[in-house]
Amino acid sequence: MIRYALKCIVEHEFEAWFSSSDGFDEQVAKGLVECPMCGSKAVTKAIMAPMVRTTKGREAPQSLAEAQQAVAEALHRLRRHVETTHDYVGKAFASEARDMHEGLTPERPIYGEATPDEVKGLVEDGVPVAAVPVFSPATDGEAKIPPVMPVASIIDKKLN
When pLDDT is cut at 50, 70 and 90, the band that residue 54 belongs to is: low
Q: Determine the pLDDT at residue 47.
A: 76
pLDDT in tens, 114-144: 888 898 899 899 998 887 766 544 444 444 4
Residue type, 20: S
pLDDT in tens, 63-117: 666 777 777 788 778 888 888 899 989 889 999 999 999 999 999 999 888 888 8
Higher pLDDT, 140 or 48: 48
SS3 134: coil
Sorted by where each begins, the domain ranges of the chain are 2-45, 64-159
The C-alpha atoms of residue 45 and residue 15 are separated, in whole angstroms, by 9
Residue-level pLDDT at 96: 94
Per-residue pLDDT at 20 exceeds 90: no
Other beta carbons within 10 Å of 159: 14
Cα–Cα distance, 47 to 95 (Å, whole number):
34
Angle between helices 116-124 and 93-101 (to 10 degrees): 10
Q: What is the arithmetic mean of pLDDT over 139-150?
A: 40
pLDDT on residue 104: 96
Q: Which of 17-21, 35-39, 69-73, 121-125 has the highest mean pLDDT?
A: 121-125
State the DSSP H helix or E strand holding residue 67, giving kind and residue range, or none if neither.
helix 64-85
Report the alpha-carbon distance of residue 88 to residue 111 in Å, rounded. 5
What is the C-alpha to C-alpha distance for residues 157 and 130, in angstroms, rounded to an integer?
Answer: 11
Burial of 137 by CB count in 10 Å (0-12 exposed, 13-18 middle, 19+ buried)? exposed
Q: How does 7-35 read in b/e, with b if 16+ C-beta sit within 10 Å?
A: bbbbebeeeeebeeeeebeebbeeeebbb
Q: What is the predicted pLDDT for the residue at 152?
A: 43
